Each structure stands twice: as structure tokens, then as C-alpha cells.
């Protein structure tokens, strides 16, 4: 195994121990020699893996003491942060915060797309929407999720702002799993198809305000379905008060 892949594999195993224990946030890590023995690697490999986690804010060095696992509020690695918060009791708001981030970015993207989208963009969105309908009818969850994500990718591209896609790209990888979980519920697929139809119809008018409202409606639907079908919250549950939420 190449050295780089060995380091990556060690980072993955350390990450699992951070997320699932025994190395939870706030705890001290064992000495490098013990970590190397635990993962069956050299001390140099263990040290390099620690450096990767330090760069993501997951591990912090303490002068004169062993390294510590930092609080999740200091982590910058999105994938590991999502894994951690989604698996711990009382931190289910992570998925709601991701919807809030989508809301902030994608409503603006829809507003811009109304002004900049060309007919080819609208035709491509319609094709992805047709795939969503076909996937729903044939109970093909994988196709449904791929078509859903592809629809939103076209909206981001059609906005004409290259930074929006760069900002959303890492979130897209995280949201694929979340969308698969939510869309596994048949009513969610029906709701999503209706909302995507509304977004496309608004974009066809070229009205920025209407397009923003349509995407806002879609984000409302996404949050409602997440609360009801995944988080199992009662109807009328209060909106998240997390800092990222609207």
C-alpha cells in the first residue's frame, strides 16, 4: 500500500474512533506509539494522520501534553462533522442546519438563474424532472436522488456565478446521503416533484422574485419532510434556533 493511502486509511480509522469512541471530543489521545500499535502502522504514519486531523480542527496539540480531540464547534472537516453530529443524541439539528445553508445559497441561485438561464438550461432541468417522475413511478430511489441533485446543479450553473458551485460542491457530497434517507419515503418524493415543478415554472417566467419564492417554498418542503419523516418530530414543531437557521 502506498504511503499516502496508508495515511488516509489511518485517518479514516482514527476518525471512526473519534465519531464512535473511544476518542470523543474533549478526551486526550494516547501517545503516538500507542496509536501506531492500535492501527498497525509506524509512528511516522500515525504522526502524519494526526497532522491531517489537526488541519481539519479535529485534533489540537497541547504543549507538554498529549494531543486532544477538539470540540465539534472547532472542526472544519464537513464530512466528519456531519458524521459526528448525526450520530449523537441531541445534535439532530445538524441536518436542519444543512437545509438552512441550502436555503441561503439556493434561493439566491434561483433568483440569479431566472435572469441568466438559457433555454438549454431549462430543457436540462425539465429532463431531470422527468427522470424524477420516472424514478418515482418505478420506485428507483437511486435515480430519483441523482436526478434531484442534477436539477439543483443546473440551477447553480445557470446562476452565472461560478462561486456558488464551488461553495456547494463539498456540501453536495454530504447531502447525497441525507437526500437518499429523506427521499426513501414515498410522500417526500411526491412533494419534491411538485416543488421542482414550481421552481422550473418560475424560472421559465424569467422573474427573479418569483423564482426565489419558488425555491424558498421547496426549502420549506424539504425542512418539513425532514422533520416529519426522518427526525420524527411532531407536527408544528418549532423551527430550529441553531445559528445557521433562518
Q: Round the average pLDDT of the chain to a whole number and report it.
A: 87
Q: How far is CA 2 from the centre of its chain?
A: 30
Contact partners, residue 243, CB within 8 Å, separation at least 6:
97
β-sheet bridge partners, residue 245: none
Contact partners, residue 1, CB within 8 Å, separation at least 6:
9
Instruction: Name the residue with higher pLDDT: 12 or 235.
Output: 12
DSSP 8-state class, residue 226 = I
Q: pLDDT-based confidence at 242, cuts 50/70/90?
A: very low
Give dist(CA 141, CA 144) in Å, integer: 5
Number of other CB atoms surrounding residue 15 within 10 Å = 21
Region 92-230: CATH code: 1.20.120.530
Q: pLDDT-based confidence at 119, cuts 50/70/90?
A: very high
pLDDT for the residue 72: 82
pLDDT in tens, 135-183: 999 999 999 999 999 999 999 999 999 999 888 887 776 778 778 889 9
Q: pLDDT-based confidence at 85, cuts 50/70/90?
A: low
- Per-residue pLDDT, averaged over 16-28, amounts to 88
pLDDT in tens, 171-227: 776 778 778 889 999 999 999 999 999 999 999 999 999 999 999 999 999 999 999
8 A C-beta contact, residue 213 and residue 124: no
pLDDT surpassing 80 at residue 47: yes
Start-to-end Cα distance in the chain:
47
Share of the chain above pLDDT 90, in %: 62
Region 3-80: CATH code: 1.10.10.10
Task: Tell me which H or E stretch contains 69.
Answer: strand 68-69
Task: Tell me which H or E stretch contains 38.
Answer: helix 32-39
pLDDT for the residue 82: 66
pLDDT surpassing 80 at residue 77: no
pLDDT for the residue 87: 59
Instruction: Name the residue with higher pLDDT: 50 or 72.
Output: 50
Give domain limits for the chain: 3-80, 92-230
pLDDT surpassing 60 at residue 5: yes
Q: What angle do CA 145, 146, 147 make, to 5 degrees?
A: 90
Q: What is the pTM of this model?
A: 0.72
Q: pLDDT-based confidence at 241, cuts 50/70/90?
A: very low
DSSP 8-state class, residue 33 = H
Highest mean pLDDT among 21-30, 61-70, 123-132: 123-132
Amino acid at each position: 500500500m502506498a504511503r499516502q493511502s496508508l495515511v488516509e486509511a489511518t485517518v479514516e480509522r482514527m476518525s471512526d474512533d473519534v465519531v464512535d469512541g473511544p476518542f470523543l471530543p474533549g478526551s486526550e489521545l494516547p501517545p503516538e506509539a500507542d496509536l501506531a500499535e492500535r492501527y498497525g502502522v509506524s509512528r511516522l504514519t500515525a504522526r502524519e494522520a494526526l497532522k491531517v486531523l489537526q488541519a481539519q480542527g479535529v485534533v489540537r496539540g497541547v504543549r507538554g501534553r498529549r494531543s486532544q480531540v477538539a470540540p465539534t464547534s472547532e472542526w472544519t472537516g464537513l464530512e466528519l462533522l456531519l458524521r459526528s453530529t448525526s450520530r449523537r443524541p441531541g445534535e439532530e439539528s445538524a441536518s436542519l442546519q444543512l437545509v438552512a445553508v441550502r436555503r441561503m445559497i439556493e434561493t439566491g441561485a434561483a433568483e440569479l438563474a431566472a435572469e441568466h438561464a438559457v433555454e438549454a438550461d431549462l430543457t436540462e432541468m425539465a429532463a431531470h424532472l422527468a427522470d424524477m417522475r420516472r424514478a418515482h413511478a418505478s420506485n428507483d430511489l437511486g435515480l430519483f436522488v441523482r436526478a434531484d441533485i442534477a436539477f439543483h446543479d443546473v440551477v447553480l450553473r445557470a446562476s452565472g456565478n461560478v462561486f456558488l458551485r464551488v461553495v456547494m460542491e463539498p456540501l453536495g457530497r454530504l447531502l447525497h446521503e441525507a437526500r437518499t434517507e429523506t427521499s426513501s419515503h414515498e410522500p417526500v418524493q411526491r412533494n419534491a416533484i411538485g416543488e421542482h415543478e414550481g421552481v422550473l415554472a418560475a424560472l421559465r417566467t424569467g422573474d427573479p422574485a418569483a423564482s426565489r419564492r419558488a425555491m424558498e417554498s421547496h426549502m420549506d418542503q424539504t425542512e418539513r419532510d425532514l422533520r416529519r419523516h426522518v427526525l420524527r418530530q411532531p407536527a408544528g414543531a418549532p423551527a430550529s434556533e441553531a445559528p445557521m437557521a433562518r
